[in-house]
Amino acid sequence: MLSSGSKDGGNKTEGRELNRDKPPKAMILGVSGIALTDAEKKFFAYSNPLGFILFQRNCVNPQQTKSLIKELRDAVGRPHAPILIDQEGGRVARLKPPHWPEFPPARMIGKMVEQGLDLGLEAAKINSQLIGLELAELGISVNCAPLADTLFDVTDNAIGDRAYSSDTAIVSECARAAAEGLLWAGVLPIIKHIPGHGRTVVDPHHTQSVVKASAQELHDIDFAPFRALRDMPLGMTCHIIFEAFDQLPCSLSSVMHDIIRKEIGFDGLLMSDDLNMKGVYGRIEDLVINCLKAGSDIALHCNGNMSEMVLVSGACPPMTDAAMDRWDRAQLRLGTPPMFVDKGGLLDRLDMLLGVAAITT
C-alpha cells in the first residue's frame, strides 16, 4: 500500500516560526469533543495557546479528526500550530481500531532488544515510523512518546509495559530509535517523563507520588536515559516528588528543573505533564504559574473543561523568547519522508519482527 508524503522540500521551518510580535501563550490545551463549539472557537482565538492535545474523546474517524484539527488551527490563525496526541502503542493509544492500526507496547520491543539488539531496534524504529505516518496523515504534528523511564520491580502499572526495559542502555537505544522513527515521518517526539517515572509505586494521575531513592541512585540509573537523549527537541516533566532533592513535585520544582537543564543537559522545549493530574494539587491557576516559574516552557492542561481553561489562560503568560527559540529549533529536526512510502511493506516487516520475538522471548 502506498501513501503519499505530505511534506514539501526546502526550508523545514518556513511558515512555522512563531510571531515574536504576538507570541502565543505558554500553554497547550485540550478540547471537549469531536468538533469545536462556538464558545471554544472564540476562546481559543482570544487566548492564543501554543497548541492543542487530542484524546480518544476527540477522534472518531480520520475525516472527523482532520476537520477538528483544521478548526483548531483556524481558531488561532496558525496553520502549523502544534497538535499533540499520546500514541505510544499498547494500552496508551488515542487512535484505535477499526480506523487506525494497533501497535505493540514498548515492553514488547524492549524484550526483543534484550534478546538481540539489532532486531529489536529495527522494530522500534519501524513501529514509530508507522505511527508517525498515521499521525502526519491526520495533521498531528507532535507525539507524546517515547518513554525513557526505567522499569523497576516496584514500577506502578501507570508505567508498566509502557517502559522498554530495566536496562538503562536498552531504554536509551529503544527510545532513540523510536524518536528517530517519528522524526523521519515528520512528527516531533516528546521524551518523557524527565527525569524518570520508573520508581513510582502509585499512579500520579490519582494521588501524589514520592520516590525515596538516593541522589546517587537517581543520577546513576533513572537519569541516565535522559542524559543519553538530551539532544531531543521536546521533553515532558513528571509530577513525582524526588525526596533526595526537593519536597515539591518535579513539575513545580526549580531544583528539579535545574537538574534537568544542567545535570541532565536537556535544552529542548520542556513542558509539564497534565496539570489536572492528582500528583499535583492546588488551584489550577497557581499550578500554571508555578510550573512555568520552576522552569518549564509550556504548561499542559488536557481535560478541555472551559471554566478551567479560562483560569489557565488568565494565569498563563506569553511564551518567553527562550521558549520560542527552542520551539523554532525543534522544527529543524523534522525529517521529510519519501514522497511515496510502502506502508504495507513496513507493516509486513514489523509483523515479521514481532513474530520472531514471540518465538524467542
Q: What is the DSSP string of 200-261?
A: -SS-TTTS--EE---HHHIIIIITHHHHHTTT-SEEEE---EETTT-SSBGGG-HHHHHIII
User: Which phi and psi (to 5°) does residue 188 adopt?
Assistant: -80, 130
Q: What is the predicted pLDDT for the residue at 126?
A: 97
Q: What is the predicted pLDDT for the residue at 129?
A: 96
Active-site residue identified among 80, 99, 205, 219: 205
Is the pLDDT score of 314 beyond 60? Answer: yes
- pLDDT tens for each residue of 50-90: 999 999 999 999 999 999 999 999 999 999 999 999 999 99
Q: What is the predicted pLDDT for the residue at 117?
A: 66
| Average pLDDT of the residues in 228-238 | 98
- Fold (CATH) for 27-51+81-360: TIM Barrel (3.20.20)
Instruction: Establish whether 273 is a catalytic residue.
Output: yes
Q: What is the predicted pLDDT for the residue at 5?
A: 37
User: Which phi and psi (to 5°) does residue 217 adopt?
Assistant: -60, -45
User: Which phi and psi (to 5°) does residue 329 adopt?
Assistant: -65, -35
Is the pLDDT score of 304 beyond 90? Answer: yes
Residue 242 zone, left/alpha/beta (φ > 0; ψ -120 to 50; rest)? beta
Active-site residue identified among 273, 274, 297, 301: 273
The domains of the chain are located at 27-51+81-360
Q: What is the predicted pLDDT for the residue at 361?
A: 60
User: Which phi and psi (to 5°) does residue 288 adopt?
Assistant: -60, -50
Is the pLDDT score of 201 beyond 70? Answer: yes
For residues 55 and 33, the answer to whether their CB atoms sit within 8 Å is: no
208 burial class (0-12, 13-18, 19+ CB within 10 angstroms)?
A: middle
d(CA 229, CA 191): 8
Q: What is the predicted pLDDT for the residue at 7?
A: 39
Is the pLDDT score of 360 beyond 90? Answer: no
Total-model pTM? 0.94
For residue 85, give the H/E element and its range: strand 83-85
Is the pLDDT score of 1 beyond 80? Answer: no
Banded model confidence at residue 9, pLDDT cuts 50, 70, 90: very low
Banded model confidence at residue 4, pLDDT cuts 50, 70, 90: very low
Banded model confidence at residue 338, pLDDT cuts 50, 70, 90: confident
| Average pLDDT of the residues in 214-237 | 98
Higher pLDDT, 207 or 360: 207
Return the exposure string of 111-135: e unless at least 16 CB atoms fall within 10 Å of the residue's CB, then b: bbbeeeeebbbbbbbbbbbbbbbbb
User: Which phi and psi (to 5°) does residue 215 adopt?
Assistant: -60, -40
Helix (H, G, I), strand (E, B) or coil at 179: helix
- pLDDT tens for each residue of 121-135: 999 999 999 999 999
Find all residues with CB under 8 Å of 143, minimum gap 6, and list them.
84, 85, 86, 87, 88, 131, 132, 135, 182, 187, 188, 189, 190
